[in-house]
Amino acid sequence: MRRQQRSVLLVAKGVQMLCASAVLVCCASQLAGAQQPGWPAFRGPYGDGHVLAEGDTKTIGLPLHWSETENVKWKSALPLQGWSTPVVMDGQVWMTSATEDGKEFHANCLDANTGAVLFDETVFTCDNPEPLDNEVNGYASPSPAIEHGRVYVHFGSYGTACLDTATGKALWKRTDLPCRHLRGPGSSIILFKHLLILTLDGVDQQYLTALNKDTGETVWRTDRTTEWNDLDEQGKPIREGDWRKSYTSPIIIDVAGKPLLISVGSKATYAYEPLTGKAVWNVPMPGFTPAASPAYGAGLVFVFTGQGQVEMWAIRPDGQGDVSNKHIAWKTDEAAIIPLEPSPIVIDGLLYLCSNQGMVTCMEARTGAKVWAKDLGGNFLSSPIYADGKLYFSSTQGKTTVFKAGPTLEILATNELENGFMASPAVDGKALILRTKTHVYRIEETPN
């Protein structure tokens, strides 16, 4: 179902005016034209964890080794909590944070070259936030998205805003996108052409919405059409509707020359037309509360069912309607290798996974055949990135293990920083921008 809403707070020249509608986070610049410099969204410039476009073989020069005392250009403390991945552009590093009680929601900006604080803006406040009721998620988990002159921040139903990167001030705000998160927001936003696309999969409402990125007005809204089958004897959703919630961020892919928005919800994966929100196909699935975002490669979409019945499915994306009977290329229920939070990555026909418990697995993307596996131990919530033939996996204990990408298992380095990772790595030129639970680092090779 699609419908227009009105109620946006526009902020211009110090005057606030009511006007129009909604938001989400991830980036689809791979379909919007030339590569954006920097790291414009959660999964980078192409929405897939790759620093460069597929087929681009030039060397970036990212560091291989670091520690608290090696190859740290700067280290900047973060006063508040947040798990959002930093975004980088035009010499700025932006991220979000919140007070642990969920009453203040901040947008933070650091100088990319020095780590100096440029802005710490209180974007939203909430007098009575819902308790998180878990030890993993926070109030500032969705990653922002950035383009030249504008950064977009999203805190789920607590608010979405567009800020001027020169002043840190809000150009528009939305606080009227309803959704009961129960355990906090998690889905990141996507920029696509003139749209900011948001995922709001709560326990009470489940929908995607696209906002005009210039005004904040709602362009479309599409509700999920999932058959939940989760009512108890009193006719109420089990666990307050927790089985209906999703934390995933969508991706946009090209299918036969047309863009397709792939979004994994609880108990189903959907494909939509990103400009209109029109549903194209769907795949009902077992499992609930998924958090890992999908990936695309070798002509297949790779999705994860979430908790309960833990599975990974490979879907051919060229169907219509319910494609579960004819478009599933392969699937696996080997729970030990399947991630709940870390997103997968596809490189040269190989699919790489990292489970929450640190089992890194390389598979043939087309067939699902296992190529190699390595148990790193530890715990993982962040998603890997790829550049210079190397894969970077960062754990909640603070270790980043660097693998050589390819069919032969080879670990190139293991590096450690204090306090551990919830956010995924970002890249700025030849540097890694790493956000731990308490600090942001610029990791860069330093001349001898």
pLDDT reading at 242 higher than 70: yes
Comparing CA positions, the residue from 22, 23, 27 lying closest to residue 7 is 22
Same domain, 399 and 409: yes
Same domain, 332 and 361: no
pLDDT level of residue 22 (50, 70, 90 thresholds): very low
Check whether 31 has a pLDDT greater than 90.
no
Share of the chain above pLDDT 90, in %: 89
Same domain, 169 and 254: no
Average pLDDT over residues 200-223: 98
**Average pLDDT, whole number, for the chain?**
93
Would 431 be classed as within a structural domain? yes
> Could you give the C-alpha distances from 154 to 23, 188, 200, 440, in angstroms and in order?
7, 7, 11, 20
Confirm whether 73 is domain-assigned: no
SS3 content of the chain, % helix, strand, coil (to 5): 5, 45, 55
Residues 109 and 159 in one domain: yes
- Shared domain for 89 and 146, answered yes or no, is yes
Is the residue at 116 inside a domain? yes
What is the per-residue pLDDT across 64-77, written as a single tens digit (0 to 9) for each?
999 999 999 999 99
185 and 124 inside one domain: yes
- Determine the structural domain holding residue 175 and report its residue range: 1-42+84-223
- The answer, yes or no, to whether residue 120 has pLDDT greater than 60, is yes
CATH number at residue 312: 2.40.128.630
Percent of the chain, pLDDT > 70? 92
The answer to whether position 48 is within a domain reads no
Query: Which one, of 199, 284, 287, 183, lies nearest residue 240 by Cα?
Result: 183
Please give the pLDDT value at position 4: 38
For residue 16, pLDDT beyond 90: no
In this structure, are 34 and 145 located in the same domain? yes
pLDDT at position 37 is 66
Structural domain includes residue 65: no
Given a cut of 80, is residue 9 above it in pLDDT? Answer: no
Residue 231 within a domain:
no
Number of folded domains that form the chain? 3
Q: Flag whether pLDDT at 15 surpasses 50.
A: no
Whether 13 and 157 map to the same domain: the answer is: yes
Q: What gap in Å lies between CA 354 and CA 347, rounded to an integer?
A: 14
**Tens of pLDDT, residues 410-427:** 999 999 999 999 999 999
Residue 212 backbone dihedrals phi, psi, to 5 degrees: -65, 120
* Per-residue confidence band for 18, with pLDDT thresholds at 50, 70 and 90: very low
Instruction: Please give the pLDDT value at position 135.
Output: 85
pLDDT at position 431 is: 98
Asked whether residue 34 carries a pLDDT value surpassing 50, the answer given is no
Q: What is the mean pLDDT of residues 343-356?
A: 99
Token digits of residue 84: 């959002």
Look at residue 79 and tell me if it is in a domain.
Answer: no
Residue 283, pLDDT > 60, answer yes
If asked whether residues 412 and 398 sit together in one domain, one would say yes
The predicted pLDDT at position 446 comes to 85
Are 367 and 379 part of one and the same domain? Answer: yes
pLDDT-derived band at 318, boundaries 50, 70, 90: very high
Of 302, 318, 339, the last residue of a domain is 339
SS (H, E, C) 63-125: CCCCECCECEEEEEECCCECCCCCEEECCEEEEEEECCCCCEEEEEEEECCCCCEEEEEEEEE
Give the pLDDT score at 448: 66
Q: Is the pLDDT of residue 61 over 80?
A: yes
Task: Supply the pTM of this predicted model.
Answer: 0.92
CA distance 110 to 92: 6
Q: Which of 339, 367, 387 is the last residue of a domain?
A: 339
- 287 has pLDDT over 70: yes
In which band, very low, low, confident or very high, does the pLDDT at 13 lie, cut at 50, 70 and 90?
very low
Query: Is residue 165 situated within a structural domain?
Result: yes
What is the mean predicted confidence (pLDDT) over 183-208? 98
280 and 410 together in one domain: no
- Statement: residue 6 has pLDDT above 70: no
- Determine the average pLDDT of the residues in 83-99: 99
Q: Which of 193, 223, 253 is the last residue of a domain?
A: 223
Looking at the fold, whether 17 and 159 belong to one and the same domain comes out as yes
CA distance 244 to 227: 10
What would the mean pLDDT of 274-281 be, rounded to a whole number?
Answer: 99
